[in-house]
Amino acid sequence: MTEDLTLLIVDDEEATRSGLRMALEDECDVYTAADPTSALTILKSENIDVMLTDLRMGTESGMDLLEAAGKLERPPISIMMTAYGSVDTAVEAMRRGAWHFVTKPLNLDEVELLVKRAFHSKKVEAKAETLETEVKQLKRQVSDKFKLDRMIGRSLAMKQVFELVEQVAPTRATVLIEGESGTGKELVAHALHHLSGRPAGKIVVVNCAALSPQLLESELFGHEKGAFTGASQRRIGRFEQADGGTLVLDEIGEIDPTTQVKLLRVLSERTVERVGSNAAIKVDVRLVAATNKDLKKLVEEGDFREDLFFRLNVVRLEMPPLRARREDIVLLANAFLKEFAEENGRPIKPLDDHSLKLLSDYSWPGNVRELRTAIEHGVVMSNADTIQPKHLPAFLSDPAGSITVHSTKITQIESTEPKKTLDGADEFNLHEIERATIERALAFSQGNRTKAATLLGISRRTLQRKLKEIDID
State the sign of the Cα–Cα–Cα–Cα dihedral 39, 41, 42, 47: positive
In a domain, residue 410? The reply is no
**CATH code of the domain containing 74:** 3.40.50.2300
In a domain, residue 407? The reply is no
- What is the reported pTM? 0.57
3-class secondary-structure state, position 368 = helix
* Same domain membership, residue 360 and residue 261: no
In a domain, residue 140? The reply is no
Domain count, the chain: 4
In a domain, residue 93? The reply is yes
pLDDT above 90 covers what percent of the chain?
42
* Same domain membership, residue 276 and residue 336: no
* Same domain membership, residue 198 and residue 255: yes
**CATH code of the domain containing 473:** 1.10.10.60
* Same domain membership, residue 333 and residue 316: no
DSSP assignment of 235-267: B--HHHHTTTSEEEEETGGG--HHHHHHHHHHH
* Same domain membership, residue 180 and residue 158: yes
| Residue 372 burial (CB count, 10 A) | 18
Please give the residue range of the domain that contains residue 275: 153-320
CA atoms of 190 and 182, how far apart (whole Å)? 15
Separation of CA 396 from chain center: 16
* Same domain membership, residue 390 and residue 373: yes
Give phi and psi for 4, each to the nearest 5: -75, -15
* Same domain membership, residue 343 and residue 472: no
In a domain, residue 405? The reply is no
In a domain, residue 120? The reply is yes
CA atoms of 282 and 284, how far apart (whole Å)? 7
* Same domain membership, residue 328 and residue 315: no
CA atoms within 13 A on the CB side of 117: 10
DSSP assignment of 127-145: HHHHHHHHHHHHHHIIIII
CA atoms of 256 and 217, how far apart (whole Å)? 9
| Residue 458 burial (CB count, 10 A) | 23
CA atoms of 149 and 189, how far apart (whole Å)? 10
**CATH code of the domain containing 338:** 1.10.8.60
Per-residue model confidence as pLDDT tens digits over 377-419:
999 999 999 999 999 998 887 644 444 443 333 334 443 344 4
Separation of CA 404 from chain center: 20
* Same domain membership, residue 209 and residue 294: yes
pLDDT, position 254: 92
- The answer to whether 295 and 178 have CB atoms below 8 angstroms apart is yes
3-class secondary-structure state, position 360 = helix
Per-residue model confidence as pLDDT tens digits over 266-291:
999 999 999 888 889 999 999 999 99
Q: Which residues contact 328 (CB under 8 A, 6 or more apart)?
A: 152, 153, 154, 155, 158, 322
* Same domain membership, residue 425 and residue 387: no
Per run of 10 residues, the mean pLDDT along the chain (length 473 residues) is 74 88 84 91 88 84 86 87 69 77 82 83 66 58 47 88 93 95 93 88 91 87 81 86 95 93 92 89 95 93 94 95 93 92 90 92 92 94 92 77 41 40 51 78 79 76 78 68
* Same domain membership, residue 167 and residue 268: yes
H/E run at residue 182: none
* Same domain membership, residue 65 and residue 33: yes
